[in-house]
Amino acid sequence: MAREDYEVVIGLEVHAELSTKTKIFCSCPTSFGASPNTHICPICTAMPGTLPVLNEKVVEYAVRAGLATECTISQDSKNDRKNYFYPDLPKAYQISQYDKPLCEHGKIEIEPSTGRKTIGITRIHIEEDAGKLNHDEFGRGSLVDLNRAGVPLIEIVSEPDLRSSEEVDLYLRKLKSILEYIEVSDCKMQEGSLRADVNVSIRKKGAKEYGTRTEMKNMNSFRSITRAIEYEIDRQVDVIDNGGEIEQETLRWDEVSGKTFSMRDKEDAQDYRYFPDPDLVAIKLSDEYIENIRKSLPELPESRKQRYLTEYHLSEKDANIITSSKYLSDLFEEASKICNNPKAVNNWIISDISRILNETEMEPVAIPFDSKQLAKLVMLIDKGTISSSIAKKVLVEMFEHPRDPEDIIDEKGWVQISDEGAISEVVSKVLANNPQSVADYKAGKEKALGYLVGQAMKETRGKANPQMLNKMFKEELK
Amino acid sequence: MQVTREELLHIAKLADLELDESEVDNYLANLEDILNFANIVNNAPVEGLDITIGANEAKNVFRKDEVKVFKDNESLLENAPDKAQNMFKIPKVIE
Amino acid sequence: MDITELTVHELQEKLKNKELTSYDITKAYIDRMNEKEKDVQAFVTTLEDDALEQAKKIDEEIKAGEVEGNFAGIPIGIKDNICTKGVKTTCSSRMLENFVSPYDATVVEKLNDEKMINLGKLNMDEFAMGGSTEYSYFKKTRNPWNLNKVPGGSSGGSAAAVASRMVPWALGSDTGGSIRQPSSFCGVVGLKPTYGLVSRYGLVAFASSLDQIGPITKDVYDSAMLLNIIAGHDDRDTTSSNQEKIDYTKCLKNDVKGLKIGIPKEFFGEGINEEVKASLEKAIEIYKELGAEVEEFSLDIAKYSLAIYYIIACAEASSNLGRFDGIRYGYRAKDFKDLKDLYRKSRSEGFGPEVKRRIILGTYVLSSGYYDAYYKKAQQVRTLVMNEFNKAFEKYDVLLTPTSPTVAFDIGSKSNNPLEMYLADICTVSVNIGGLPGISIPCGVDKEGMPIGMQLIGNKFQEGTILNAAYTYEQKTKFRENHKPTFRKGEE
């Protein structure tokens, strides 16, 4: 059968590192990139006799995430131990949540090409991250760094509501933007602070039972997630079409070969022996606590988007792109307020800024200039100080060697020529050098004007005011 | 309560213990004895009772999110049987 | 004057009056240790030189008037599962034979704040699992009343060291009777505080929901004093309570008139040795004479408690002991082919048979398919036990039971039958299941001269009540003045 005869069923378990100052159960810092085993203490290295104490911000952040995804917040929650041996897990158990997660039954809206759709959130729970294994320089052993051990995570488990890699991509981007908006996670995918376990299965269209699923763990780029899902769907279709059966297993996605591989560690089915952690007491949140957090939530992307449609008259597509990132959205609103030209700011973000971000694989949060500088760029065009083609060059410069746009223009001598005398001088010169074009224009070929303006821009290395050029050429050629 | 040899070996694996033959026989017998005794819990009148996790009823005991650096972090590696580059050294793990 | 005969409150008095120096006291105990340790084998680590040096320093500070604190210069022994920075903490296990803790347990910080002197780390059953101290990897501790008998356990080293006067007092830990039972076997006073009264931070965990640190002392007054030092909320232990601090010595009124004592008759039934029973009955009569209101009642929870104790304690232990994997600290096997092999060999060689038995039992009751039948059921029955205790404390102030069904038994006589060994905990485990305070004090000897212990159980945080009841009995009967350990070698 063809791929079209199957329905794809995907569920996601997304892990987001919370941006607290300290770890979940001890007071060690969480900052990324410290030298090995410098952010550790007796607790996160599981020295005998140590005990965990839950960080209040972790609970608060998880509740924020729950409320922002329309979850019900549990008023009777607890921590459980998930027991297994691995060298990055010093206690030989991960403190997580099993049957009483903090948040349940939420949802997220996405807009795939097939139409608006709701993806269910099964649960959001809190847990601790593991350490990191490095390989030693001689390749004979592995080295354990516990800086990350105990960094707080929330795990966001979706319902198996996703039906394509497109939907997964949109869901993840939406989730990421929500977490950024409510400022509970920086969601830096390269640093692993947002990663997803992807469960994929297929079934014949119309079938009621789910197919057997495979799981790809710890995926941390949108691109590989899409590729891996596409590959895995094809693989599963292939297996079934050839009369085979899908094995329930954990797969590893290999970015280089573009294939998934079975992680052959099946000597025993895992049995995590979850049980309530007796070192930690119950979490019973009051209505008041939950309501206070609800009141403190910022405006979420969905609501901002609606506002942009009515207040700024952006197109649905543009509003989607801008609100997908809190940083972009803030940049848009602040810059618009300063320069009073939201349309222009929108255009800059949608076209040039987005293009540069894509080309350099930069996260919006890493944009090296602020809203004031972007607003200034727009105002310099509006005032006629620079042309929009020069402005594009200024923007590139603002990314590459960040500094004030006015300084860039000064240094580079890019100020637009709007002096009538100077313009008319150039116009005369161009007219004299291009008699054929002049003749063409006079014979009714409108296009020739564009050529002449282009030549004049070339003469002035792009600095001439294009509106003035246009006007002057037309007058001269009357 | 009958515990099979296979079950015991499975449990030992979960606990990362390696048992020799005599230990297996011994623990099998012990485990059966103890479980038979422990089965008494199934006769207890517990209908409708909640579970008790700890011996106190405290709730919501949290910590402020304030960094406290453990200064003597070298001492945390001093007991390590093997280490290199300030990390705990273990046999190669293929991920 | 034999300094080692004195209680700590007596030593304290003599230090204050300058009759004795810290050095005198510390030296006397070290001399005693040198004399008796070869017979008793109570220590895993002794700290003679450090202790003497510290004593000299404290004496100088006392002279210069720089020392505050009521216990400066008083020596103490510490069970070897309580972390002491810079000193080995072995849990009497091969696994931690060379482990030096990078931090001090909260209780040790409190001792240090008082400028007390650590004389050494005391032997125990490996990871506190056992009732005879025979499961120590290093040595078998002997009962000072008869060297062929066990001192009880798991805090056998602590109880034997106090009974043989090698330390003035000691810290033990109690998960199912590990302070009270050895105290009973060795004829000393041992108190298990209410769960949450003393911080567990730095106590190497056996069963987190049951473990408590407590005092083992020569008399009740000393227990009250040591409890004063170690009790109190700790931010590092979320299960530690916020109870207001009280001075337990102020609770010792030497008066039990009108005190309501409940005698749960099931604790005097089958399996309780006749001599133990007789001794307890005598004690009950004394309480009546002293004006207490004594009443027999039914508290049919002992068997359930024992069953759920072994389920819950082993389950928690199987998880708590996962961290001993030969990576960050502890024993690592010499030959291994890969990581899994390293784990399995290190753990199999590093843990002794009783620890492995309990890890296996604990893993079993948590594993899929058995969780509901054992672990979850046990937690429900735990609720039942707590409810029954609550009902009992509506009527009574104190419950009185034997501490152990028997006196100390011969070394080697039970170590091959785990279930029989477990059954010996029948009187003590309910107290841990309920999270209640319990104290064991000596109430007589059997015909061979072995001490018999009486257990007084109080409602949560009513340490003052049981300490007073114990104190009043002690003042009346003067066990310590009338009975001394003989260090005899039995019938050889």
Residue A278 contacts B, CB cutoff 8 Å:
yes
How close is the nearest chain B Cα to the Cα of C407, in Å?
A: 23
The Cα–Cα gap between C269 and B22 comes to 37
- Residues 184-223 of chain A with CB under 8 A from chain B are none
Chains that touch A (3 or more CB pairs under 8 A): B, C
C422 at interface of A, judged by CB pairs closer than 8 A:
no
Contact A123, A101 (CB under 8 A): yes
Contact: B34, C361; criterion CB under 8 Å: yes
| Residues in chain B closer than 8 A to A41 (CB atoms) | 70, 73, 76
Question: CA C53, CA C27: separation in Å to the nearest integer?
Answer: 10
**CB–CB contact A36 B86 (8 Å):** yes
* Closest by Cβ to A54, choosing from B62, B76, B85: B62
Percent above pLDDT 70 for chain A: 98
Mark out chain B residues that contact chain A at CB-CB < 8 A: 10, 13-14, 16, 51, 53-54, 56, 58-70, 73, 76-77, 82, 84-93, 95
Nearest Cα of chain A lies from the Cα of B15 at a distance, in angstroms, of 8
Q: How wide is the angle at C-alpha A57 spanned by C-alphas A52 and A60, nearest 5°? A: 120
Nearest CB among B56, B76, B81 relative to C239 is that of B56
Of A49, A92, A281, the CB nearest to C238: A281
Q: Residue A471 — pLDDT band, cuts 50, 70, 90?
A: confident
Interface contact flag, B18 C361, Cβ < 8 Å: no
Query: Strands A250-254, A214-219: parallel, antiparallel or unpaired by DSSP?
Result: parallel
Q: What pLDDT, on the 0 to 100 scale, is given for residue C492?
A: 46
Q: ipTM greater than 0.90, yes or no?
A: yes
pLDDT recorded at residue B47: 86
Are the beta carbons of B62 and A56 separated by less than 8 Å? yes
CB contact under 8 A, C204 and A281: no
Q: Which residues of chain B have a CB within 8 Å of the CB of A76? A: none
Q: Residue B16: its chain A contacts at CB < 8 A?
A: 85
Q: What secondary structure does DSSP assign to C384-448, as a single string?
A: HHHHHHHHHHHH-SEEEEESSSSSPPBTTSSTT-HHHHHHTTTTTHHHHHHT--EEEEEEEE-TT
- Which tokens belong to A362? 């930069």
Domain parsing of chain C, residue ranges: 3-266+277-298+391-482
**Mean pLDDT for all residues in chain A:** 91
Contacts of B72 in chain A (CB under 8 A): none
| Burial grade of A70 (CB within 10 A; 0-12, 13-18, 19 or more) | middle
Q: Does A1 touch chain B (CB under 8 A)?
A: no
**CB within 8 Å: B49 and C380:** yes
Residue among A48, A92, A273 minimizing CB distance to C366: A273
Average pLDDT in the A365-390 region?
A: 88
Residues in chain C with pLDDT < 70? 490-492
**A152-158 and A6-17 strand pairing:** antiparallel
User: When comparing pLDDT for A418 and B39, which is higher?
Assistant: B39
- Please say whether the beta carbons of C402 and C177 come within 8 A: no
Domains of chain A (ranges; CATH) run 3-289 (no CATH), 299-412 (no CATH), 420-476 (1.10.10.410)
Q: pLDDT higher for C139 or B47?
A: C139
Residues of B in contact with A149 (CB under 8 A): none
Q: Does the beta-carbon distance from B16 to C351 stay under 8 Å? A: no
Q: How far is A138 from chain B (nearest CA, A)?
A: 11
Catalytic residue ranges of C: 79, 154, 178
- Does C52 contact B at CB distance below 8 Å? no
Could you tell me which residues are beta bridge partners of residue C458?
C398
Q: Nearest to residue C155, comparing CAs of C135, C407, C166, C146?
A: C135
Tell me what pLDDT residue A269 has: 63
Proportion of chain A above pLDDT 90, given as a percent: 64
CA distances from C228 to C4, C232, C457 (A): 22, 8, 19
Residue C188 CA to residue C10 CA, distance in Å, equals: 17
Q: Which residues of A touch B9 (CB under 8 A)?
A: none
Fold exhibited by the domain C3-266+277-298+391-482: Amidase signature (AS) enzymes (3.90.1300)
Q: How confident is the model at residue A455 (pLDDT cuts 50, 70, 90)?
A: confident
In chain C, which residues have their Cβ closer than 8 Å to the Cβ of A90?
323, 327-328
d(CA A295, CA C76): 55
Distance CA C47, CA C100 (A): 14
Q: Do B41 and C378 touch (CB under 8 A)?
A: yes
Find the CB nearest C329 among B14, B45, B79: B79
Is residue A218 scored above 70 in pLDDT?
yes
Say if the Cβ atoms of C384 and B50 lie within 8 Å: no
Contact B59 A283 (CB under 8 A): yes
Instruction: Output the pLDDT for position A264.
Output: 62
Number of inter-chain CB pairs under 8 A, B vs C = 174
- Does residue C50 belong to the interface with chain A, where contact is any CB pair within 8 Å? no
Indicate the SS3 state at residue C172: strand
Q: Identify all chain A residues contacting B61, using CB atoms and an 8 Å cutoff.
A: 53-54, 280-281
Backbone torsions φ then ψ of A158, nearest 5 degrees: -90, 160
Task: Identify any residues that bridge with C296 across adjacent strands, giving them in sequence order.
Answer: C263
Strand C75-79 and strand C117-122: the pairing is parallel
User: At C281, which helix (H) or strand (E)?
Assistant: helix C274-289
Which member of C201, C319, C324 has the closest CB to residue A51?
C201
Nearest-CB residue to B63 (from A40, A42, A53) = A53
Residue C386: per-residue pLDDT? 95
Query: Nearest C-alpha of chain B: how many angstroms from C376?
Result: 7
Half-sphere exposure of C340 (CA within 13 A, CB side): 10
* pLDDT tens-place string over residues C432-446: 999 999 999 999 999
Question: What is the residue-wise DSSP string for C104-130?
Answer: --HHHHHHHHTT-EEEEEEP-SGGG--
- Residue carrying structure tokens 């987001």: A16
Which residues of chain C are within 8 Å of residue B75 when distances are taken between CB atoms? 102
Is A34 in the B-facing interface, judged by CB distances under 8 Å? no
Residue among A99, A107, A111, A95 at smallest CA distance from A66: A107
Instruction: Please give the pLDDT value at position A265.
Output: 60
Q: Which of A214-228, A413-427, A462-476 has the highest mean pLDDT?
A: A214-228
User: Is B58 in contact with C384 (Cβ distance < 8 A)?
Assistant: no
Query: Chain C: residue nearest A278 by CA?
Result: C209
DSSP letter string over C82-94?
A: B--BTSB--TT-G
Nearest CA distance, B68 vs chain A (angstrom): 5
Q: Mark yes or no for CB contact C325/A92 under 8 Å.
A: yes
| Subunits close to C (at least 3 CB pairs below 8 A) | A, B
Token pair in block for residue C30: 């070290």
